[in-house]
Amino acid sequence: MAIILSIETATPVCSCALLQDGEVIMNNESHKGQSHSTLLGVFVHDIMNHVRNSNLKLDAIAISNGPGSYTGLRIGVSEAKGLSYGLGIPMIAIPTPHIMATIIKDKVDEGALLCPMIDARRMEVYATILDKSLNVIRKTSADIVDANSYIDLLETNKVAFFGNGSEKCKEVITHHNAIFIEDINPLASAMGVLAEKAFSEKDFVDSAYFEPLYLKEFVATTPKNKII
């Protein structure tokens, strides 16, 4: 039984929620794109005001730990580390694919597998395969998607593909067992059950040394119109 502030910044959606015993009691989120650096601080400030005004006490900070946007993850993790250190409370890290899978696991048939996909540009995605109980069938990896991707799983199971990386795969993955579910984003408000479980099991990370799952190194680009 805990009060947890959750943060999710792995994709273009920025969100922050206050959770009590796994239930959402306050939620702030924006789907407007890459504005995490300005929005997250405002969201957290708003929730912390509610915590103080309601005489509540935070027990932990939960962060979505990737994979996803390099910049987005850094912003979220930096905020979570600061709160954890400043308030003297533990930090919980939850895999982003598990958060996404939590949203849709009750919307698919028994026996179906879940494949949350996070966009990694071009035809590459960060993909994980889980069952409906969120057991990992195949660990998260960076996949270049083609017509034969996941064919071994699709031959024997229905597989639900979802997340901001799945849209571009629709025309490529055409197996009759492939199911595509639209508009599924990882959200802080969906972290309740997972965060509560981690808290009860004391599954914490060291906020001083924790690093999110980037999967790939950050590559800086040079604007095409830069004048030398």
Q: What is the pLDDT of residues 118-156, one digit of tens each?
A: 999 899 999 999 999 999 999 999 999 999 999 999 999
**Euclidean distance between CA atoms 170 and 203, whole angstroms:** 37
Same domain, yes or no, for 79 and 16?
A: yes
CA angle at residue 124 from 29 to 149, to 5 degrees? 115
Query: Is residue 52 in some structural domain?
Result: yes
* Overall domain count for the chain: 2
pLDDT (average), residues 69-88:
96
**Euclidean distance between CA atoms 187 and 185, whole angstroms:** 6
Query: Is residue 226 in some structural domain?
Result: no
Q: What is the pLDDT of residues 40-61, one digit of tens each?
A: 999 999 999 999 999 999 999 9
Same domain, yes or no, for 8 and 32?
A: yes
Same domain, yes or no, for 21 and 87?
A: yes
pLDDT (average), residues 32-42:
90
Least confident residue range of 65-69, 169-173, 217-221: 217-221
Same domain, yes or no, for 142 and 66?
A: no
> What CATH number does residue 128 fall under?
3.30.420.40
Count the residues in the chain.
Answer: 228
Beta-carbon contacts of 37 under 8 Å, excluding residues fewer than 6 positions away, are 75
Radius of gyration over every alpha carbon of the chain, rounded to an integer in angstroms: 18
Q: Please say whether the beta carbons of 21 and 15 come within 8 A.
A: no
- 162 SS3 class: strand
pLDDT at 97: 98
Query: Is residue 219 in some structural domain?
Result: no
Query: Is residue 176 in some structural domain?
Result: yes
Domain housing 153: 97-181
Taking the CA atoms of 201, 4, 92 and 60 in sequence, report the sign of the dihedral they define. Answer: negative
pLDDT at 217: 58
pLDDT (average), residues 106-116:
95
Same domain, yes or no, for 82 and 72?
A: yes
Same domain, yes or no, for 191 and 85?
A: yes
**Euclidean distance between CA atoms 181 and 158, whole angstroms:** 13
Same domain, yes or no, for 33 and 71?
A: yes
Helical axes 36-53 vs 70-87, angle rounded to 10°: 30
pLDDT (average), residues 86-109:
97
> Exposed, middle or buried by CB within 10 Å (0-12, 13-18, 19+), for 208?
exposed
